[in-house]
Amino acid sequence: MQNRSVSIERRQQKRFKVVEGAFAALVNPTSKLGQIKDISKLGLSFCYIDSDDETDNARELKIILGHRGLCLDKVPFKKVADFEIQKEYSFSSIKMRQISIQFGELSPYQQILLDNFIQNYTLGEA
């Protein structure tokens, strides 16, 4: 008998790939900034350089689309996962991590900005 692991999709919303140049930042004394990998109406994930500093003290999440000037800040959030990404090249000494964030309750204005972001700056389902 084969032992198979079954992956169960827990996401309640479709995730979308994001255009290049879209960033997320966890703001605290040792802020984390990285390119957004995917986003939905309920959360996002992004990659960042691991500096061995904790992300648990972050109090604010910002979503930034640099070349278009969009900034969605003070986003309430909860960290869902944070894990090291396996290196593609063994000679690289830079450790990368991926963090998954669940949004908290957004204000009506934040929701409008998020909907606009998803509608105009994503590339299809992730």
- Tell me: the pLDDT tens digits for 42-86? 999 999 988 876 666 788 899 998 766 778 999 999 999 999 998
What share of the chain has pLDDT > 70, as a percent?
A: 83
Asked whether residue 74 is domain-assigned, the answer is yes
Q: What is the CATH number of the domain that holds 91?
A: 2.40.10.220
Tokens of 110: 């934040």
Residues 124 and 126: their CA atoms lie apart, in Å, by: 7
- Angle made by CA atoms 37, 47, 10, in degrees to the nearest 5: 55
Tokens of 75: 């986003």
Asked whether residue 21 is domain-assigned, the answer is yes
Asked whether residue 44 is domain-assigned, the answer is yes
Asked whether residue 2 is domain-assigned, the answer is no
Mean per-residue pLDDT of the chain: 84
Asked whether residue 10 is domain-assigned, the answer is no
First-to-last C-alpha distance (Å) of the chain: 33
In the chain, the number of structural domains is 1
Indicate whether 31 pLDDT > 80.
Answer: yes
Asked whether residue 8 is domain-assigned, the answer is no
pTM confidence score:
0.82
Domain span holding position 95: 16-125
